[in-house]
Structure 1
Amino acid sequence: MNPLQDLKDIHPPSAIESWPPAYGWWLLGIFSIVVVGLLIMWILRVRNKSLAKRQALKSLQQIDASNPDCVSQLNQLLKRVAMTYFPNQNVRELYGSQWVEFIINTLPKNKTKDFSESFESMQQMLYRAQTSENTAYPHYYKLVETWIKFALPPRRRVIQQMEQKNA
């Protein structure tokens, strides 16, 4: 009598299935989807915030230096974009020294060094007789471009400071 005679054949274990995954993988997948969704929302918000800035830079490039009214167009562009980003500041009503002060206060401190005097001369140019040739236009163009690039979109600190001044 053979004691091994009653043994049955060896059965390999059943294969481990890859589906459904363990709970940890479900949590990792959900977390990844949430992170990607939040990242997309943040990117869209940043793009929407800077939309007016991008449009202003395109409009700035379209201003013709040979136009005798070019300095006025630069100032109008600044007003339009400032009204977009500072709706609570009554930008439309600002002119002269108030307008210059507003523009300078919204710039970062490291950019205001030479900006003040140049911008004041630009404002004075608005009230002079226009000539067909404006030699200072490239400088004024750079001023406006600098303000649009570095002051927009405004930081929360700048908005809070402007609200405190108007309160």
Structure 2
Amino acid sequence: MQVTQPMPGQDPLAQLKDIHPPTEINWWPLDWGWWLLILSLVGVLIGFFIYWKRKRAFNRPRKEARHLLTLIKDTDENWPMQINEVLKRTALYYFSREEVAKLYGNGWRQFMLHHIADKHNKKLAAGLDTLQTQLYAPVKDNAQFETCIAAADLWLRHGSFSPSSTAPSHVSHAKETTHA
């Protein structure tokens, strides 16, 4: 290896080349860690969207039932039966037909009380008692209408519903009768 000697009278530092800064670091292409983070965020967003859609679909019959309650008026001759029918159709959507269809009177009342949180039990029980007496009364007491509607709405809002194994067969029945 031959080293060149500087010429006499010339500054040896003048032979040095200028310092070149490193090239700028680009943000693209992304490193594998960023890809993992992006995929995780997309997965979480998709999971949240699926959860939201399922929850919304699951609660749709309750929402429709609450709307049907608003259509019932105290001037209707058979308003207690209409309220009870809305509750029964909603229960048929969420629970098996064998479990719900045979219920009436005190058994129906106990079923609804069993499927609500304890903190709402007393208020619901009083409203359901009023509804049951109005169902079988020869003359309807329209002053009790608000109490019955409130109890039905309470059960629809705070009832503990769970999808039954036979729910898909009742979906079309519940929707047909809801829109009738």
Q: TM-score, normalised by structure 2?
A: 0.76
Flag the 1:155–1:80 CA change in 2: closer, same or farther, 3 A. closer
**Offset at residue 15 of structure 1 (A):** 2.1
Partner of 1:36: 45
Q: Which of 138, 149, 156 matches 1:141? A: 149
Q: Which of 93, 114, 136 matches 1:127? A: 136
**Offset at residue 73 of structure 1 (A):** 0.4
1:56 aligned to 2:74? Answer: no
Partner of 2:95: 86
**Offset at residue 130 of structure 1 (A):** 3.7
Partner of 1:12: 21
Query: What is the alpha-carbon distance in structure 1 between the residues aligned to residue 14 and residue 106 of structure 2?
Result: 108
- Counterpart residue identity of residue 109, structure 1: D
Contact 2:61 2:93 in 1 (8 A): yes
SS of alignment partner, residue 137 of structure 2: coil
The RMSD of aligned alpha carbons is 2.1
Q: Please say which structure displays the higher CA radius of gyration.
A: 2
Query: What is the alpha-carbon distance in structure 1 between the residues aligned to residue 21 and residue 59 of structure 2?
Result: 64
Query: What is the alpha-carbon distance in structure 2 between the residues aligned to residue 82 and residue 11 of structure 1?
Result: 77
Point out where structure 2 has 5 or more consecutive residues left out of the alignment. 1-6, 165-180
- Counterpart residue identity of residue 142, structure 1: A
Contact 1:119 1:143 in 2 (8 A): yes
Flag the 1:7–1:58 CA change in 2: closer, same or farther, 3 A. same
1:116 aligned to 2:125? Answer: yes
Q: How many residues in Structure 1 have an aligned counterpart in Structure 2?
A: 155
SS of alignment partner, residue 122 of structure 2: coil
1:97 aligned to 2:103? Answer: no
Flag the 1:63–1:5 CA change in 2: closer, same or farther, 3 A. same
* Structure 1 consecutive aligned stretches of length 4 or more whose deviation exceeds 4 Å: none
